[in-house]
Amino acid sequence: MPERLLEEYWFGRTSAEEATAIEEHLSHCPDCLERWRKTQDEIQFLQEMLRAAECPFLERRNEERLPVSGRIRLRILRDSGRAIAVAAELRDESRSGVGLFSRKPLHAGYSVQLQKGRLTLRGVVRYCRPEYGGYKIGIELSAA
């Protein structure tokens, strides 16, 4: 499996079908799994170095994010009409998006439904990054 494909998968730039194929391949190929882990380590190291340098270009939000917490019901909406439930916790929110933490990665481009109490929203996964035992996920909320 090419390194570039692993990097694209890491950053959530693969389609859902590509992501599924990559995950299947990694579950059966020890050599590629080892390369995947090395790629993860290298990218995490670079991300940590950029954060440590407090590079201003890393923050691209136009709106203030407010810290929040609590469980949220999240469902990945599939073209087939079938939805897949994923456990997630709220981390932050703004008028146009939310930040979540989940133990399961979600790939950029996934359509999702979020439910907190009686409030139901829809959105699109914009990024998914590894974060201490899980994944930090950014969701851009859809207009009502």
Burial class (CB in 10 A: 0-12, 13-18, 19+), 138: buried
User: DSSP secondary-structure letter at 129?
Assistant: E
Per residue in 21-33, pLDDT (tens digit) is: 888 888 888 888 8
**In 11-131, alpha helices (H):** 16-28, 30-52
Which amino acid, one-letter code, is at 3? E
From the list 47, 42, 38, the residue with the least C-alpha distance to 1 is 38
Domain locations along the chain: 3-58, 66-141
When the candidates are 3.40.50.720, 2.20.28.120, 2.40.50.100, 2.40.10.220, the CATH number that belongs to 66-141 is 2.40.10.220
From the list 131, 143, 141, 144, the residue with the least C-alpha distance to 65 is 141
Return the pLDDT at 53.
Answer: 59
- Please say if the pLDDT value at position 59 is more than 60: no
pTM, two decimal places: 0.57
Per residue in 105-139, pLDDT (tens digit) is: 998 889 999 988 888 899 999 988 888 888 999 99
